[in-house]
Structure 1
Amino acid sequence: MAEVFAGVEAERKVMVAIDESEYSHYALTWVLDNLKESITNSSLVIFMAQPPPRSSFTFSAPLGSARMYCPVSATPELTNSIQENHKKLTLALLEKAKDMCASYGVKAETITEVGDPSTVICDVVQKFDITLLVLGERGLGKIKRALLGSVSNYCLQNAKCPVLVVKKPK
């Protein structure tokens, strides 16, 4: 698994980017099932992005047969509370993923950073010299992907390493 460059072994680092979806869970399981021999002797990194802080939110309330949407500015206390809850959720999901790896006999390192998942994933790939990025495919249709964008598509275009997109069978 290690490559030799001018007599020096380079450490391989595989990173699986996860979120709370079943697609990222499947991608991690796929890596553990199919790349176990390769990742046992290299570094496995599990990454999860935390959403950036928001200063405003939109709340909806029923109004007769329709819904009323009302933008609301968030107080610093509300923003901090939401960020703290996101951090707790992220750390719990990373710990669960790490335990899953341990059940396969694979030691994993976890990393989280705050920001837009697409850009933060690519930044972490470069920052930690990741040699293979693994993502789960969400299964967005062409129209949704065009309108909403796709984390996996962004990473395919911008990550500074090979990217493996794992598609969950239907």
Structure 2
Amino acid sequence: MADEVGPPKDRKILVAVDESEESMHALSWCLKNVLFCGNYKDILILLYAIPPRAVYPTFDNTGHVFSSDFLAMMLKYNKDAADFVMQEAKRTCKEQAREVKVETRIEHGDPRDVICEMAEKLHVDMVVMGSHGYGLIKRTFLGSVSNHCVQNVKCPVLVVKRPRPDDFRSK
């Protein structure tokens, strides 16, 4: 008795993107190696998290050091950066996988929390993200977004490491 092949299933794949080469490498790797595998109709969700702004206390403990004009400029910069990253990510998708349906999300908050929350809220089947490849000391002080997501997201998380320039493995 042969297995019946039904209509393609919808599969949601969330790809976390930021300004780094590592996130764009992870996106490209996903487009080449994850999409269209099996009997799926993939939906790619590109997620950019605008990190919270730092608040520096002043001597009078008001919590504000910068003028409202400066804060507005920083918010505009963050939005412009997010828009630029999304444009580049969508261009990459169009070049490498024309048929894939792409959705975009720009959220505010700590990237660790945003990725975990969006993965659950959107009921994604997989999260794909790059790894900055920090060493032990940087990871200790800065934290590892990918490690946090691997530990806390309820669906599979694929962490794509960028090959080192001196990595001569065959392709």
Same fold (TM over 0.5): yes
1:8-35 Cα distance to aligned partner (Å, 9 max, x none) = x863210110110111011001001112
Aligned-pair CA distance for 1:80: 1.9
- Counterparts of 2:11 and 2:135 in 1: how far apart (Å)? 33
Aligned-pair CA distance for 1:126: 0.9
Match of 1:11 in 2: 10
Q: Name stretches of at least 5 consecutive residues in structure 1 with no aligned partner.
A: 1-8, 58-70
- Counterparts of 2:9 and 2:29 in 1: how far apart (Å)? 25
- Counterparts of 1:49 and 1:116 in 2: how far apart (Å)? 7
Aligned-pair CA distance for 1:147: 2.0
Aligned: 1:85 with 2:77: yes
The count of aligned residue pairs is: 152
Match of residue 121, structure 2, among 122, 127, 132: 127
- Counterparts of 1:159 and 1:36 in 2: how far apart (Å)? 20
Query: In the alignment, residue 21 of structure 2 is paired with which amino acid?
Result: E
- Counterparts of 2:88 and 2:131 in 1: how far apart (Å)? 20
Aligned-pair CA distance for 1:148: 1.6
Match of residue 143, structure 2, among 138, 149, 154: 149
Match of 2:36 in 1: 37
- Counterparts of 1:81 and 1:137 in 2: how far apart (Å)? 30
- Counterparts of 1:123 and 1:82 in 2: how far apart (Å)? 25
Match of residue 66, structure 2, among 53, 61, 74: 74
- Counterparts of 1:56 and 1:27 in 2: how far apart (Å)? 34
Between Structure 1 and Structure 2, the one with more strand by share is 1
TM normalised by structure 2 equals 0.80
Aligned-pair CA distance for 1:96: 1.4
- Counterparts of 1:76 and 1:127 in 2: how far apart (Å)? 33
Q: Name stretches of at least 5 consecutive residues in structure 2 with no aligned partner.
A: 1-7, 58-62, 165-171
Aligned: 1:100 with 2:99: no
Q: Percent identity?
A: 40
Name the CA shift for 1:10/1:156 in 2 (closer, same or farther; >3 Å).
Answer: same
